[in-house]
């Protein structure tokens, strides 16, 4: 069957699509590099015609035209599932965060969110069977389409075609309108070189890895450093099951480290939910049958992760307290990021047979020339607990690894002080004593006598 006729019937301009939005509507955009771009630009031009249009998005990777057009949020108000680079200048003004555990995003969309009046998502060109591929993100596209009154696809022929998996494509008969975009380049991210401290942290983790591990890398310098070191190591037959697919995996694959031959499920497949990285990475994943794109309620489901033996989860955080509570999304009340999938993988990896979950942080932070400890007696007032102390498995700084599972409060404090920067250990011991989570017998002569595990 020739689907081109139906395609032509549903084809409209970005300006015509923007006119479908009414005051008071909820509008959702695709995730990450699938975020609506031409549509948002056209909608911004209607700023004086509309009021109280709520836009919901997760890591909107492109310029937020509507947010820029209305700094006070009277006409367009953004709501973000995860605060990203483009979001930060609007947070608390005309953009607000939606707390979530990432694997619950599709469920929340279907069950708890106000249904969208309009959903817009960048996709690939239509194939001969009438299908559009979601490309860089299968996170929650189908959940949003199922609940939206109007579904609009913004076609960009530069979007890589990412094979599934599941819920990674949609048929022309299942959407309402098509926009042909300006086909501008997909957003790319430069891969930065890890710092010396991040490399030191990565070394501690590399020492714990072995052949056949299935690896999840989160966002940040340390996960990236681990990927680079794995590529240069003697490790082999590694698997991939992750939310975010990044350039570090490409480096590992090119080095012959990834086969997926030991995976209990999705054997031989590199499984992921979204991709952000270099153009080389997008070229690699395009039409690649060795990878499988899934919705995030599969990739991040702790029950699914736990089925994969020898799972290793590597994520980063902002600060941690002596109880083992982890903050990865704010500095006090100042919002930085979001929960994302950290808690999903912390819990899933720990329940995996042979699984290990690492949360990484440099021991110190330099703010305007003043150095402070990232390991604190208690979290900065107002800080959000991303991973509770009951879930945290292992915490890593450049000084070593502190395991939290099965440890009482005094053992946790001792282990964490032992990986804090030496300049702050005496202070942390004193604070632990004040908080009644320190055994005086553990301290003989200040911080020098902190027991090594």
What pLDDT shows up at residue 37?
96
> Which of 243, 398, 411, 431 is an active site residue?
243
Total Cβ atoms within 10 A of residue 279: 12
Cβ proximity of 141 and 120 under 8 Å? no
Q: Phi and psi (nearest 5°) for 270?
A: -90, 115
Residue in 239, 329, 245 with CA at minimum distance from that of residue 293: 245
- Residue 57's H or E segment, with its range, is strand 53-57
| pLDDT for position 446 | 40
Q: Which residue has the tokens 């979204």?
A: 274
pLDDT of residue 351: 98
DSSP 221: H
Which pTM value belongs to this model? 0.94
Burial 121-136 (b: 16+ CB within 10 A, else e): bbbbebeeebbbbbbb
Token pair of 446 as six digits:
């200040």
Low-confidence ranges of the chain (pLDDT < 70): 440-453
DSSP strands (E only) in 124-259: 131-133, 150-155, 169-171, 177-180, 214-217, 239-240, 244-245
76 φ/ψ sector (left φ>0, alpha ψ -120 to 50, else beta): beta
What does the pLDDT read at residue 379?
97
DSSP three-state, residue 80: strand
pLDDT digits (tens, 9 = 90+) for 403-453: 999 999 999 999 999 999 999 999 999 999 999 999 865 543 344 444 433
The answer to whether 243 is a known catalytic residue is: yes
Identify which of 10, 53, 4 has the alpha carbon closest to the alpha carbon of residue 28. Answer: 53
pLDDT value of residue 453: 35
Measuring CA to CA, which residue among 375, 450, 441 is closest to residue 418? Answer: 450
CA dihedral 8, 13, 40, 70 (to 10 degrees): -150
Domains of the chain: 11-180 (3.40.1080.10), 196-449 (3.40.1080.20)
Q: CA–CA separation, 368 vs 330, rounded Å?
A: 18
CB neighbour list of residue 369: distance below 8 Å, 6 or more residues apart: none
The Cα–Cα gap between 206 and 226 comes to 7
pLDDT score, position 339? 92
pLDDT of residue 441: 55
Reported as a single tens digit per residue, the pLDDT across 326-347 is 999 999 999 989 999 999 999 9
């Amino acid at each position: 069957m020739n689907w081109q006729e139906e395609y032509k019937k549903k084809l409209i301009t970005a300006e015509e699509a923007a006119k479908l939005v009414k005051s008071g509507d909820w509008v959702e955009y695709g995730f990450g590099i699938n975020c609506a771009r031409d549509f948002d630009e056209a909608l911004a031009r209607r700023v004086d015609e509309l009021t109280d249009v709520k836009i919901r998005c997760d890591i909107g990777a492109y310029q937020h035209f509507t947010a820029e057009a209305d700094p006070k949020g009277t006409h367009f108000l953004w709501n973000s599932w995860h605060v990203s680079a483009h979001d930060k200048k609007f947070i608390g003004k005309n953009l607000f965060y939606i707390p979530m555990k990432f694997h619950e995003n599709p469920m929340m969309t279907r069950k708890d969110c106000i249904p969208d009046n309009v959903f817009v998502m960048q996709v690939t060109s239509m194939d001969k069977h009438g299908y559009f591929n979601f490309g860089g993100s299968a996170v929650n596209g189908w959940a949003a389409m199922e609940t939206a009154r109007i579904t609009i696809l913004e076609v960009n022929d530069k979007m890589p075609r990412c094979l599934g998996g599941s819920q990674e494509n949609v048929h022309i008969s299942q959407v309402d309108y098509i926009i042909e975009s300006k086909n501008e380049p997909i957003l790319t991210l430069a891969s930065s070189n890890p710092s010396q401290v991040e490399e030191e942290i990565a070394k501690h983790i590399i020492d714990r890895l072995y052949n056949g591990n299935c690896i999840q890398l989160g966002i940040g310098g340390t996960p990236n450093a681990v990927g680079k070191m794995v590529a240069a190591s003697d490790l082999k037959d590694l698997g991939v099951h992750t939310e975010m697919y990044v350039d570090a995996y490409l480096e590992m694959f090119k080095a012959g480290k990834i086969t997926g031959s030991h995976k209990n499920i999705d054997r031989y497949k590199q499984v992921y939910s979204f991709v952000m990285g270099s153009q080389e990475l997008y070229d690699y994943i395009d039409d690649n049958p060795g990878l499988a794109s899934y919705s995030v309620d599969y990739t991040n489901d702790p029950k699914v992760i736990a089925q994969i033996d020898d799972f290793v989860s590597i994520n980063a955080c902002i600060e941690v307290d002596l109880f083992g509570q982890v903050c990865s999304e704010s500095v006090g009340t100042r919002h930085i990021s979001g929960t994302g999938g950290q808690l999903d993988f912390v819990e899933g990896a720990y329940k995996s047979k042979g699984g290990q979950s690492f949360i990484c942080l440099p021991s110190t932070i330099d703010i305007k020339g003043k150095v402070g400890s990232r390991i604190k007696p208690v979290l900065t007032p107002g800080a959000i607990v991303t991973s509770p102390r009951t879930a945290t498995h292992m915490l890593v700084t450049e000084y070593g690894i502190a395991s939290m599972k099965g440890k009482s409060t005094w053992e946790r404090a001792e282990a964490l002080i032992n990986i804090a920067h030496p300049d702050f250990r005496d202070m942390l011991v004193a604070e632990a004593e004040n908080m009644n989570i320190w055994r005086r017998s553990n301290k003989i002569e200040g911080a020098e006598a902190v027991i090594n595990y």
